[in-house]
Amino acid sequence: MSRYMLVVSHTGREEALEASRLVIRTLAQHDVTPVADASQYGALSAGLGAELAQLGDVALADIELGIVLGGDGTILFAAELLRGSGAPLLGVNLGHVGFLAESEREDLALTVEHALEKKYEVDERLTLDVVVAHSGSETFRTWALNEATVEKAGGVRMVELVLEVDGRPVSSFGCDGVVLSTPTGSTAYSFSAGGPVVWPQVQALVMVPLSAHALFSRPLVVDPDSTLAVEVAGRDAQDAVLWCDGRRGCELLTGSRVTVTRSKESVRLVRIHPAPFSDRLVRKFSLPVSGWRGPQKDQA
């Protein structure tokens, strides 16, 4: 039976293109057909003798694995490409923090070897279904792995928002916006906004106001099966916008309602070196841990 692996690259960086072409050659040498999205096919196929198939000619359902070379933004793009396939993503960090990535550039050969031999575990990551409605009618629908963000747009000084959890209002204020995050996204925009870091194993949704003019504007952590909603309030027309993972979005009119729920479809991330999340947190953010001595054994 034929094997197909999608290769996704940060095509704006030559380092990523070179690494991606190396992966493509290695896959072909091991009788695995490398596949590229149409938007990246030209950049990835340049100078290659190895066969490179195109997504579309190869069915999404036939993709076994996505190998992603770049930063977190490239992994988010790959997650969008593979949505609905069930194929896991294996990230190789060629960016800065690369929190979603599993490996670094220097480990590329070993990473591909693990992929070829299927020597890895898979983490299931919670995602969000996001629906926008206005005047009772649905106007936009999308999803998010990291977060859905409602924020002011254009030259507006602030936007008036009402926050709701499970059909009940919890606060309203003028602000720069609000982040509705998954545990995976808790180390992304939500983290920058002062939200809590949530371990991936914890099933929860997080709501973090952005620069709210209010006495109570603390982050909220709620049940994963809760329904979060944000309404764009105010008497005058306001410029607001919805962004999901910084990739998909729409304009929001006054009176728009954004509803966020847990999606039935997860994103699957490959783990080659299973380790406590605390170790990844320390490594990715270069956190100071000097002086730690660990649990002390009883002295005889």
Residues 60-99 pLDDT 10s: 999 999 999 999 999 999 999 999 999 999 999 987 777 8
Q: Label residue 284 by pLDDT band (50, 70, 90).
A: confident
pLDDT > 90: percent of the chain: 80
Q: Considering 37, 72, 176, 245, which one is annotated as catalytic?
A: 72
Least confident window among 114-128, 134-148, 200-214, 236-250 = 236-250
- In which residue are the tokens 């992929």 written? 115
Active site residue 31: no
CB neighbours (10 Å) of residue 290? 4
Q: How many residues does the chain have?
A: 300
In eight-state DSSP terms, residue 55 is: B
Sign of CA dihedral 74, 76, 79, 80: negative
Domains and CATH numbers, the chain: 3-125+267-285 (3.40.50.10330), 128-262 (2.60.200.30)
**pLDDT the model gives residue 235:** 65
Count Cβ atoms within 10 A of the Cβ of residue 163 and give its class: 0-12 exposed, 13-18 middle, 19 or more buried: buried
**pLDDT the model gives residue 297:** 72
**pLDDT the model gives residue 123:** 94
pLDDT of 300 higher than 60: no
pLDDT of 188 higher than 80: yes
Rg (CA), the chain: 21
The per-residue pLDDT of the chain, averaged, comes to: 92
> Rounded mean pLDDT of 117-131?
96
> Rounded mean pLDDT of 151-180?
92
pLDDT of 24 higher than 60: yes
CB neighbours (10 Å) of residue 217? 17
**pLDDT the model gives residue 216:** 87
**pLDDT the model gives residue 273:** 84
**pLDDT the model gives residue 91:** 95
**pLDDT the model gives residue 166:** 97
pTM: 0.91
**pLDDT the model gives residue 256:** 94
**pLDDT the model gives residue 155:** 72
Which stretches of 59-104 are DSSP H helices? 72-81
> Is residue 195 within 8 Å of 208, Cβ to Cβ?
yes
Least confident window among 102-106, 147-151, 153-157 = 153-157
pLDDT of 299 higher than 60: no
**pLDDT the model gives residue 236:** 61
Q: Label residue 238 by pLDDT band (50, 70, 90).
A: low
> Is residue 224 within 8 Å of 203, Cβ to Cβ?
yes
pLDDT of 169 higher than 60: yes
